[in-house]
């Protein structure tokens, strides 16, 4: 999935909430289909502002292929739900 300029869109995973960010930065959802799609610039702003909470940006097509992240970047614990 790309934006109007052809750049890849990103989804944001919240380790704090164990869920994807919804569109327009309004809440969280556990299913990728309901996640918001953000430009690289907006995703960068979100994760920079939320770095201490452990938010990460993932290209949408990678998230669709692999699911949610397999481990938390700070605690290193592997998540069982990762494929």
pLDDT computed for residue 6 by the predictor = 58
- 28-34: list long-range contacts, CB under 8 Å, 24+ apart: 32/63, 32/64, 32/67, 32/68
Structural domains in the chain (count): 1
Q: Which domain holds residue 32?
A: 1-83
Residues 6+ apart with CB under 8 A from 35: 11, 12, 20, 21, 22, 23, 29, 63
Mean pLDDT of the chain: 78
Q: Residue 18 CB: number of other CB atoms within 10 A?
A: 13
pLDDT computed for residue 38 by the predictor = 95
Residue 83 has pLDDT above 70, yes or no: no
pLDDT computed for residue 11 by the predictor = 94
- 28-81, pLDDT tens digit by residue? 999 999 999 999 999 988 888 766 666 777 888 888 888 877 666 555 555 554
The pTM of this model reads 0.72
């Amino acid at each position: 999935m790309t934006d109007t300029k052809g750049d890849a869109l990103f989804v944001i995973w919240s380790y704090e909430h164990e869920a994807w960010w919804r569109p327009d930065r309004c809440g969280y959802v556990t299913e990728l289909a309901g996640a918001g799609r953000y430009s690289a610039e907006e995703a960068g702003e979100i994760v920079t502002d939320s770095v201490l909470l452990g938010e990460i940006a993932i290209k949408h097509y990678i998230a669709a292929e692999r699911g949610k992240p397999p481990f938390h970047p700070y605690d290193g614990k592997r998540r069982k739900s990762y494929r």
